Amino acid sequence: MKKWLWMLLTVTLLMALTLFLSSVALADDPTTCDDAGCHEGIEDIRDPNSGMFIQINALGGCTVCHGGDGTATDADTAHGGVFYPDPGSVWIAENTCGQSGCHEGYPYNLERALMNTEAGKIQGNTWAWGIPDSYAVKWGNYDVDDPDGATPAMGTDSYKSYMEALMVKFPDVFPQSLTKLPAPSVDEILADPKLAGITYQQHDCQRCHVGVKGRSKRGDWRGMGCSACHIPYSNEGYYEGNDPVLLARTVTDEEGNESPMQGVLLKHTIFGTRESGQGMPVETCNSCHNRGKRIGTTFQGFMEFPYGTPFDENGNMQPKLHTKKYLFMKTDLHYELESRPENPEGRMLCQDCHTGLEMHGDGNIFGTTLAQVEIECADCHGTPDKYPWELPLG
């Protein structure tokens, strides 16, 4: 009996030692990217012990996502060839985030999701101007179709069946393709003044989609595509990590004054689910969701306010956030740190309700949030006569 115990103990210790040594080795990128003089000190994109980090290193390290030459010793060569400064961009993500063995299919889905097409916003606003002659959704930010068919590419069998039934019942909000929103000329607008609504739409409503970066304003800095949500940016847009190369990047104004470059990620890390160590903060969502319904800023308790009070300790007015000034009123109940008795403590994030299928899409083209959003209040709170788990799907 003791012999078996010793054998079991020996095997256990060897396994533990192997895991320890492999975790130490995995923190060393197989490329020269983090060598002295380059990106030495840059943060690990994920926990070195995580499955994602192990897989990235096994496939080649930094170059798996960024491309370039991982054996080079100078920046020009390292960043030569096919190089992606922002690997999350939806326009190249099938070669990076969505490559074989990683998050396959997600770039295809995201390109057709409302986060990229904004088809619902376009249809609603242009219809209010009297431009389209029906409720059918036909315009998006870009030309796009859905060659893989009506069956959702992701989700459970029950979800897929339910969505296919919805498409049959509401064909106008599940288009098979979209064409890019037209750009009428001045002469066309003079001949048909309601077309000015398209100019308004393009100028004021279409900058917040994941096909482009955020505007260069406080609170609006963000990446593109996957990076728009999964890579953190601060309100000020400064890098605050340990990479000397990124820290050394500066800009010089007309008077010769240097300042840190803006529009750089906060740290070289990925936000995701609890498995990645942290969720996506509401501020990330609010780099877009601060206009329209103001759903993100009101969730935090901010109301737009014409004055600059409260003043800071030097008597200066508060800086603008999202180009606006705010007065803090009261956070949404779900965002409060303490809820009513017997409820869990700790505020909810947007992603606690808004699912992965909502954010990434399921491969089909949606024409309204009512088609793409999965969650409703009753899913958690039930109805007057039924508990949530007694309700049917949908």
Q: What are phi and psi of 173, to 5 degrees?
A: -100, 5
Query: Is residue 81 exposed (0-12), middle (13-18) or buried (19+ Cβ within 10 Å)?
Result: exposed
Residue 17 has a pLDDT of 44
Residue 279 has a pLDDT of 86
Distances (CA, A) of 340 to 213, 250, 336, 344: 39, 48, 10, 9
Give the pair of three-digit tokens for residue 153.
Answer: 């590419």
Residues 305 and 320: their CA atoms lie apart, in Å, by 11
Residues 89 and 8: their CA atoms lie apart, in Å, by 49
Residues 168 and 388: their CA atoms lie apart, in Å, by 26
Tell me the domain boundaries of the chain. 23-83
- Over its length of 394 residues, how does the chain's per-residue pLDDT go in tens digits? 455 555 556 545 545 544 444 444 445 667 889 888 899 999 999 999 999 999 999 999 999 999 999 999 999 999 999 999 999 999 999 999 999 989 999 999 999 999 999 999 999 999 999 998 888 999 999 999 999 999 999 999 999 999 999 999 999 999 999 999 999 999 999 999 999 999 999 888 888 899 999 899 999 999 999 999 999 999 999 999 999 999 999 999 899 999 999 999 999 999 988 777 778 999 999 999 998 889 999 999 999 988 888 888 999 998 999 999 999 999 998 998 877 777 767 788 999 899 999 999 999 999 998 888 888 899 999 999 999 999 988 7
Residue 292 has a pLDDT of 86
Short-list 231, 300, 307, CA closest to 263: 231
Q: Is residue 207 classed as helix, strand or coil in its secondary structure?
A: coil
How far is C-alpha 329 from the chain's CA centre?
27
* CB distance 270 to 277 below 8 Å: no
* CB distance 264 to 237 below 8 Å: yes
Residue 308 has a pLDDT of 83
Residue 18 has a pLDDT of 43
pTM of the model: 0.86
Residue 6 has a pLDDT of 57
* CB distance 367 to 172 below 8 Å: yes
Residue 25 has a pLDDT of 40
Residue 23 has a pLDDT of 44
Pairing of strands 258-260, 302-304: unpaired
* CB distance 54 to 24 below 8 Å: no
Please enumerate in sequence order all residues whose Cβ is within 8 A of that of 348, keeping only pairs 6 or more positions apart, or say none. Answer: 334, 335
Short-list 40, 28, 39, 44, CA closest to 269: 44
